[in-house]
Amino acid sequence: MLQYNIDLRGKAILVTGAAGFIGSNLCRRLLVEVEGAHIIGIDNMNDYYDVNIKKERLSSLNKFNNFTFIEGNIADKTLIDKLFASHNPYVVVNLAAQAGVRYSITNPGAYIESNLIGFYNILEACRNNNVEHLVYASSSSVYGSNKKVPYSTDDKVDNPVSLYAATKKSNELMAHSYSKLYNIPSTGLRFFTVYGPAGRPDMAYFGFTNKLVKGEKIQIFNYGNCKRDFTYVDDIVEGIIRVMQHAPEKANGEDGLPIPPYKVYNIGNNQPENLLDFVTILQEELLRAGVLPQDYDFEAHKELVPMQPGDVPVTFADTTPLEQDFGFKPSTSLRNGLRAFAEWYAEYYKS
């Protein structure tokens, strides 16, 4: 187990993508649990999915006196430089990104702007403001069509199958170079299919639910022969908070130059679920929560279709390093996670 070397109490912490699914959950935990911390959130509030869900997440954060929200884009360098100068964050968690694999096929520009230019602006600001630890979101998509499972952070990841994946791998490379050149401690986290209440409507579990409620057919890709390491949002947030508190150690090599204070971890459930089993559990929980009527004909609303471009047949996280270094691995069962989502959905969309 690593010893924590970052004390978050009483510190300014910047969370980018603060109105996002993971960002808002992280902010809430930090606001409730970290004594005296001041959380600065930034988000561009784009309409990639329903902005009302983002506003709802924000409204619960704005109740805290120690939360400051800035609406803006991390690709705006002037704004980011000003933000760092005025708030001087001690730790930065970069969760702002254009998300989604399929959207990157039709809208590549959005990914270059947010995931590359935006991340560059964050790195530059960290360099110029002596940030103690940069934690940033990577993604399981960097593993591409790797055949070896479970996916280990030691695996080569040079074959992305989507631009989204390519931008996330680029983030890791950029962070590594900044760690090496400027001795900035950085930790990348490869998230595996995050789900839960008030999640992203573009994710399968949410999209399936919306379609079933409207009586439309859901399409199950690769004829159901997909496996996903579904990871509940609370487990992701717990992992982030633990990782935030240990910055990779600064040290010099034999050449007298810095050894990059740089780490990458997987955060996944370490238990891939078959897509058809996942759909079955989702159906059962939607019935239980009263989202759908008890006599709903699921078979009539399911369609098995071929694989989508940019998708991969399996995601499976090796979380051993996370367990060894932080004594933690995600453990929320798919049933409990989907139950929480179904209950939230029933409450949020009640007519």
DSSP H/E element including 189: strand 186-191
Residues 142 and 130 sit within 8 Å (Cβ to Cβ): no
Tell me the DSSP string of 151-162: B-TTS-----SS
Read off the tokens for 351: 């007519």
Alpha-carbon distance values, 174 to 59, 113, 120, 165, 285 (Å): 34, 15, 8, 14, 42
- The residue among 173, 46, 58, 178 whose CA lies nearest residue 114 is 46
Query: Residue 84, exposed/middle/buried by CB under 10 A (0-12, 13-18, 19+)?
Result: buried
Read off the tokens for 49: 């999915």
164 is catalytic: yes
Residues 336 and 246 sit within 8 Å (Cβ to Cβ): no
Q: 164, 232, 262, 345: which one is catalytic? A: 164
Q: How wide is the angle at C-alpha 272 spanned by C-alphas 266 and 278, nearest 5°?
A: 130
Q: Which residues are catalytic?
A: 164
